Amino acid sequence: MNTKILIVSVLFAVVAGTVSSLTMTSLYPEIVPVYAGKTLNDDDVAKSLQVRVMIDGGNKEQIYDSFSRIGFVRSSGVEFLLESLPSKDKKSFYEFVEQSLGVPNPPLININIDVFSGDGTLIETLNYKRCTVTSYFVHVNDSKGKFSFLENGKSDMEIREVTKFACAGFKINV
C-alpha cells in the first residue's frame, strides 16, 4: 500500500472517530435531555422500602427499614431476594435465617414489602406468603461501576448480604 494512501486512511479514521464521538449535547450544550413518557419528580416515585416479616400463623411482626434492594431469582415460581448491608437492626432477622437454613422443615414466614414514594406515601405492598429461606450469603461489592447502598459511600468496598426466598404465593396490594 502506498504511504500517502495509508496516511490519508489513518487521518480519515481519526477524523471519523472524533466526529462520531461528538454528541448532540456536546455540540449544542443548551439542549436538555428528555425522557420518554411523563417526567416524575422525587416525591412521586418509589424511594424506600419497609420489610415486614412474621412467622406463618404467628402474631408478632418484625419491621426492617434497612433493606436496599428487591430482586427476582427466576421468572417461574415465586422466588425473590432481598439485598442490603448487614446491620444491627436486623439481628432478629439473622436469628430467623439461622433457624431456617439446613433444617428439614424450616419455619414458614410471610413477608410484606411496603414501597413508599419520596414524600412518604405508600404506593404498594408486595405480599409473599408461606416463604422459606433458600440461601443466605455475604459478599463484598468493590466495583466502582455499581451503585453504593451507603448515602455517602466513600469506602472502596461495601459488605453486602443477600437472602433468597421461595414462597407459596404472591399478591400485590395497592
Map out the domains of the chain as residue ranges. Answer: 1-33, 46-173
100-125 residue pLDDT tens: 998 899 999 999 999 999 999 999 99
Can you name the residues that pair with 114 across neighbouring β-strands?
A: 50, 125
Q: What dotted CATH number matches 46-173?
A: 2.30.110
Is-contact 121 78, C-beta < 8 A?
A: no
Tell me which of 29-33, 86-90, 108-112, 152-156 is least confident: 152-156
Q: Please say whether the beta carbons of 118 and 45 come within 8 A.
A: yes
Q: 129: buried, middle or exposed (CB in 10 Å: 19+, 13-18, 0-12)?
A: middle
DSSP single-letter state for residue 100: H
CB 150 within 8 A of CB 157: no
Q: Which residue has the higher pLDDT, 168 or 9?
A: 168
Q: pLDDT tier at 97 (50, 70, 90 boundaries)?
A: very high
pLDDT (mean) for 151-164: 77
Q: Which helix (H) or strand (E) holds 135?
A: strand 122-141
Q: What is the pLDDT of residue 14?
A: 46
Mean pLDDT for the stretch of residues 130-146 = 82
Please report the pLDDT score of residue 23 as a whole number. Answer: 53
Averaged pLDDT of the chain: 81
Burial of 24 from C-beta contacts in 10 A (0-12 / 13-18 / 19+): exposed
State pLDDT tens for residues 53-75.
Answer: 999 989 999 999 999 999 987 76
Sheet with 109-117, strands from edge to edge, namely 62-64, 46-55, 109-117, 122-141, 158-173, 78-84, 67-72
Report the distance separating Cα 124 and Cα 170, nearest Å.
Answer: 13
Q: At which residue does the C-alpha cell 434492594 appear?
A: 69
Nearest 5°: the CA angle 163, 83, 96 is: 35
Three-class SS state of 9 = helix
pLDDT over threshold 60, residue 150:
no
